Amino acid sequence: MALDISELQTITHDVIVVGAGGAGLRAAIECSRQGLDTGVVCKSLLGKAHTVMAEGGAAAALGNADSRDNWKVHFRDTMRGGKFLNQWRMAELHAKEAPERIRELEEWGAVFDRTADGRINQRNFGGHRFPRLAHVGDRTGLELIRTLQDKGVHSGISVHMECTGLGLMMDGGRVAGMVGYWRETGRFVVFRAKAVIFATGGFGKAWKITSNSWEYTGDGQRMAYDVGAELMDMEFTQFHPTGMVWPPSVAGVLVTEGVRGEGGILRNKDGKRFMFEYIPEKFAAETADTEEEALRWLQGDRDARRPPELLTRDEVARSIYNEVKMGRGSPHGGAFLDISHRPADYVKKKLPSMYHQFKELAEVDITKEPMEVGPTFHYAMGGLAVDHDSQMCPKVPGLFACGEVAAGLHGANRLGGNSLSDLLVFGRRAGMGAKEFIDANPGLPKVDEARVKQLIDQAKEPLMRPDGENPYVLHDDLRESMTRNVGIWRDAEGMSQGIADIAKFRERLKNVKAHGTSQYNPGWSEAIDLHSMFVAAEATARSGLMREESRGAHSREDFQGERKEWIKYNIVCFKGDDGEMVVQKVERQSGPAELEKIANASIEDVEAGRV
């Protein structure tokens, strides 16, 4: 029977925010504050978001734990951590605005841990010069979500839960809304809006071992790409060094960097503290090379050099990987992370979730025994290219992106804790950007009926087929291929194989069957999500293949080390006229002189305010 569009449920808002993690909630609060009728669409239940996996804290130069900290030092750390591929303006805005966003969160009810004199406490994290992470034990992301959710529901936003986006509608070159389906009933819905904000997160589910949960399939990246948006920096995928490795059912679950921030030590199977062996030349001046010095630092001597466990995540993940490869790994293919030298009460107070997580899931008491940990796909530095101030996707007027789905702030590697401050700073900015856009374009765009039909027909295909392949098998094959071919270390042969695999998977997707009806049908949802995972995975492999160097989180066996010529480029992917993915190098603009000076200055000059 032909689809009658007039019979479809239609929901209209000034703006819809897709995704209800920290970025989506902060954007929605801002939209509502600006007087916009705001709808939040979330794939899962409100409050269930990858934001909670940023456990150890939110980075902001409050200067509470060390008064030498300021936005310039934070900016410099972020640029260096990102290996100078970050967008200058985004790194500047982030470092300048993060402290205000944290204080605002506190005003809204977030209960941060305190210093002895009652200020927001801050802890150490990899790549941050000073203790900078405002935290709530090891549940910071959860507290952030709780606070924003509370603020959001009292700001009059409408929440549409358990709804997955299928695709965007356009009207004369501007975005007109999104078509989706309710996961519970399988019914379709058209969201009409004057602006759309994507805060849909990352795509870790295309890899086997990941801290991401089932929602993170790259939906925003794919929907925006389909209507002409550019994906940028997709080769940079962050493997957090410490995920659980045992038991297999919980492999990949995050073990917060806060453990190392509180003094956790990494050892190999021979009990050797191996990170001292892996200090890269450029970090040598800042990193302790003896246990004694690392200990002095832990005891509060801020002029001692930092323990090498707090090198940036790319460095630590590669080091663990190498120990395993050399046969020095833990029994289940990782390393040992030990915090048992700290007093048990302290560990339970600062790391309560880790204590319970290991007790309940692995029967390990972390106050007495080491944890077994290994790298886990945690975060995508790449995503939608956006305007740096407003967060609008330049190629798709009216579409905004913030949080993990957006690219630019983190460059080649994100510093831990910068994600939470990112989503607060740029969630707010996306809300302001949407308001500005709507003020300039106040009419409600038209519904493109042909597009709605096309999206719904495509979504129904796996249900309508008489028979076909199981979507879960296809997903497993994708994860297998990405893990093998586009993992921590990559080379041309592997990435080419990954691209070839995806082409075959796309053919197989044409024959996938979801059994049963559209109601409560996870197999059907899986079949739909595969489209998005393929786009994200292909963009990662293609961008990785083009970037012939190793930089940050992109490590190539066949092109080791950074290459000077590559610092000049970001890589973007977009959909060509023939429907195939186009990959291009885009020359970077040099940063404003003042910012370049800060990023390149010595730490002494930045701390002393000489730049």
Q: Is there binding between residue 256 and ligand MEZ (CB under 6 A)?
A: yes
The runs of H, that is alpha helices, within 363-491 are 418-440, 449-464, 471-485
> Quick one: which of 202, 243, 264, 416 contacts ligand MEZ (CB under 6 A)?
416
What's 310's DSSP letter?
G
Cβ(170)–Cβ(152) below 8 Å: no
Shortest CB 56 distance to ligand MEZ, Å: 3
Q: Which of 13, 76, 135, 240 is catalytic?
A: 240
Q: Is there binding between residue 201 and ligand MEZ (CB under 6 A)?
A: no
Residue 328 annotated to the active site: no
Q: Is there binding between residue 56 and ligand MEZ (CB under 6 A)?
A: yes
256/550 with CB nearer ligand MEZ: 256
54/595 with CB nearer ligand MEZ: 54
128/160 with CB nearer ligand MEZ: 128
Q: Is there binding between residue 403 and ligand MEZ (CB under 6 A)?
A: no
Q: Is there binding between residue 54 and ligand MEZ (CB under 6 A)?
A: yes
Could you tell me whether strands 188-192 and 9-12 are parallel, antiparallel, or unpaired per DSSP bridges?
Answer: parallel
Q: Is there binding between residue 257 and ligand MEZ (CB under 6 A)?
A: yes
Q: What is the dihedral of CA 124, 126, 130, 132, to 10 degrees?
A: -60
What are the strands, taking DSSP E only, across 88-246? 122-123, 133-134, 158-160, 163-171, 174-182, 188-192, 195-198, 231-232, 237-244
Distance CA 544, CA 479 (A): 17
58/595 with CB nearer ligand MEZ: 58
44/256 with CB nearer ligand MEZ: 256
Q: Residues of 21-57 as b/e, b for ≥16 C-beta within 10 angstroms?
A: bbbbbbbbbbbbbbebbbbbbbbbebbbbbbbbbbbb
Q: Is there binding between residue 137 and ligand MEZ (CB under 6 A)?
A: no
Q: Is there binding between residue 380 and ligand MEZ (CB under 6 A)?
A: no
DSSP per-residue string spanning 491-530: -HHHHHHHHHHHHHHHHHHTTB---S-STT-HHHHHHHHH
Position of minimal CB gap to ligand MEZ: 56
Shortest CB 256 distance to ligand MEZ, Å: 3
Question: Which are the contacts of 464, defined by CB distance < 8 A and separation ≥ 6?
Answer: none
201/417 with CB nearer ligand MEZ: 417
Shortest CB 81 distance to ligand MEZ, Å: 12
Shortest CB 258 distance to ligand MEZ, Å: 5
Q: How many residues make contact with ligand MEZ (CB under 6 A)?
A: 10
Q: Is there binding between residue 210 and ligand MEZ (CB under 6 A)?
A: no
Q: What are phi and psi of 315, to 5 degrees?
A: -65, -45
Q: Is there binding between residue 57 and ligand MEZ (CB under 6 A)?
A: yes
Shortest CB 344 distance to ligand MEZ, Å: 21
Q: What is the side-by-side order of every strand in the sheet holding 195-198?
A: 158-160, 38-41, 15-18, 195-198, 399-401
Q: Which of 260, 429, 479, 551 is catalytic?
A: 260
From 80-88, 255-263, 331-339, 526-534, span contacting ligand MEZ (CB under 6 A): 255-263
> Quick one: which of 39, 126, 417, 494 contacts ligand MEZ (CB under 6 A)?
417
Shortest CB 415 distance to ligand MEZ, Å: 8
DSSP run (H or E) holding 288: none
> Quick one: which of 21, 81, 258, 329 contacts ligand MEZ (CB under 6 A)?
258
Cβ(335)–Cβ(278) below 8 Å: no
Burial class for 353, CB neighbours closer than 10 Å (0-12, 13-18, 19+): middle
Residue 378 annotated to the active site: no
Distance CA 450, CA 224 (A): 18
Residue 281: how many other CB atoms lie within 10 Å: 6
From 22-30, 253-261, 329-337, 432-440, span contacting ligand MEZ (CB under 6 A): 253-261
Two structure tokens written together for 36: 């916009």
Cβ(357)–Cβ(372) below 8 Å: no
Which stretches of the chain bind ligand MEZ, using CB under 6 A? 54-57, 256-258, 416-417, 419
Catalytic residues: 240, 260
